[in-house]
Amino acid sequence: MSLAKIETLLSQKIGIAANIIGSHKIAKAVQTRQTACGLPDFDTYFKVLQTSRQELEELIEKIVVPETWFFRDRKPFDFLINYVRSEWLNKSGSTKLRLLSVPCSSGEEPYSMAIALLEAGLSVNRFSIDAIDISKQAIAKAQRGIYGKNSFRGEDWIERDRYFQQTVAGYEVIAPVRNTVKFRQGNLLDVFSDAETKYNIIFCRNLLIYLEPTACTQVFNTLDRLLLPNGLLCVGSAETGKVPSHPFISIRQSFTFAYRKSDIIQLQSPLRETSASTELKQSLPLNKSHITQIEQPRTLAGNTSSTAIVTRQSTSQLPSKAIQSTDKVSSTKTHSGLELARQLADVGQVEKAINHCQEYLAGNSTNVEAYTLLGTLYQAKTENAQAERYFQKALYLNPNCYEALIHLSLLKEHRGDIVGAEIIKQRVQKIQQNTQLCG
């Protein structure tokens, strides 16, 4: 059937997962474009798609999801402000902060990033933002910079008159803000193939949930290449289960979903662990330039171990005995079934990862990490009911499981249970307060 062939073509070109977008939506878009082209059936239209880049772009316009607004999910922008004030301004000197927003949709996100940086105290000549989206229509609207009330449907965050001027057509972003953002149409899977620009911060939110596993892997390889060492990556709330733990280390801050690109080589294991792992809740110290021993969380087998880690910049300065000791740790480390599940999740084999988790739970029915990992895996598949079930099981075993609480609150919010989500958020805040007091 040609619809299946068209779905395969779209997956190859832009990486979308037809089961997430929905075959019904794709079929409706194809039918609309088929009619517009005056073609008799899907078979004929498929042949046109294979040879016409322009028609492929027209079809993509019908499929992409342009849902966005200013300061959507406010926490990442609060985090951006705090990062600039507490870290960037203290060490940047005269360098320029470079940011990337991809996909940028119709521009609300990159403009929000620019406004947040101005609120943080940066002048317009201290930062620049590149903004990329596959949709020509979205880029055209972003470059125009005029928005209606729907683009401001989030909570009030700033004094609008400081950054927008009201016109007959709507609210227009003022020129100083607009000039900090450079918009460009392109596909993240190939637009950066020969790019030399490196970024301090990348916002890549609410794209990964629509992509096939192989496309997600390609995206993360690109983001890794684009990010500077210790650079920051922000993803969407439903995408944390897709983020590989190397080199992206989770930053434990509520509802921010930010990761730092680590230049740290973990020598204890050749396997990568997914961001769903409890280990990632332990934020590594920033800017380490020496060997240190850190106490690892309890392993899946119930033991604890101390693991040597070393940055790439300092390996040449290591004493030979230190290197030998870390090699010994690497060669003797064994891996449990749950670690294999994390590895499978890391390379996009979600179903196999789920099966391994289930097998592990058959003999370890009280393991909180396994239930939490299963929750993130089902959330990555957008099977939210199953995801919620496993997060609840994790919380039954450990009521203070930070990661399960975060994901569960988002799932409740997604299905409209605002009260339930707020109660869980309050629990998270209390846990953070208690942690700070204990620390």
23-53 pLDDT, tens digit per residue, is 888 999 999 999 999 999 999 999 999 999 9
The CATH number linked to 419 is: 1.25.40.10
In a domain, 276, yes or no: no
Claim to verify: residue 345 and residue 217 sit in the same structural domain: no
Q: What is the mean pLDDT of residues 294-312?
A: 29
Going edge to edge, which strands form the sheet with 127-133? 181-185, 127-133, 97-101, 199-203, 227-234, 258-261, 248-250
Could you read off the pLDDT of 246-267 as tens digits, one per residue? Answer: 889 888 777 788 999 986 544 3
Claim to verify: residue 125 and residue 236 sit in the same structural domain: yes
Claim to verify: residue 229 and residue 137 sit in the same structural domain: yes
Higher pLDDT pick, 138 / 416:
138
Could you read off the pLDDT of 102-112 as tens digits, one per residue? Answer: 999 999 999 99
In a domain, 311, yes or no: no
pTM for the structure as a whole? 0.66
In a domain, 271, yes or no: no
Claim to verify: residue 16 and residue 123 sit in the same structural domain: no
Claim to verify: residue 111 and residue 252 sit in the same structural domain: yes
Higher pLDDT pick, 211 / 338:
211
Claim to verify: residue 42 and residue 89 sit in the same structural domain: no
Claim to verify: residue 51 and residue 90 sit in the same structural domain: no
Claim to verify: residue 88 and residue 228 sit in the same structural domain: yes
- Cross-strand bridge partners of residue 185: 133
Claim to verify: residue 49 and residue 81 sit in the same structural domain: no
Instruction: Identify the domain boundary among 206, 229, 261.
Output: 261
Residue 58 belongs to domain spanning? 2-63
Could you read off the pLDDT of 314-323 as tens digits, one per residue? Answer: 333 333 333 3
Q: How far is CA 48 from CA 6, 40, 60, 136, 307, in A?
A: 11, 12, 14, 20, 57
Instruction: Indicate whether 306 pLDDT > 60.
Output: no
What's the pLDDT at 305? Answer: 31
Instruction: Identify the domain boundary among 246, 261, 276.
Output: 261
Instruction: Indicate whether 428 pLDDT > 80.
Output: no
In a domain, 126, yes or no: yes
What's the pLDDT at 1? Answer: 58
What's the pLDDT at 432? Answer: 67
Claim to verify: residue 348 and residue 402 sit in the same structural domain: yes
In a domain, 330, yes or no: no
Claim to verify: residue 10 and residue 121 sit in the same structural domain: no
In a domain, 58, yes or no: yes
In a domain, 322, yes or no: no
Higher pLDDT pick, 337 / 55:
55
Could you read off the pLDDT of 390-400 as tens digits, one per residue? Answer: 888 888 788 88
The CATH number linked to 157 is: 3.40.50.150
Number of domains in the chain: 3
Instruction: Identify the domain boundary among 200, 232, 261.
Output: 261
Claim to verify: residue 113 and residue 6 sit in the same structural domain: no
In a domain, 118, yes or no: yes
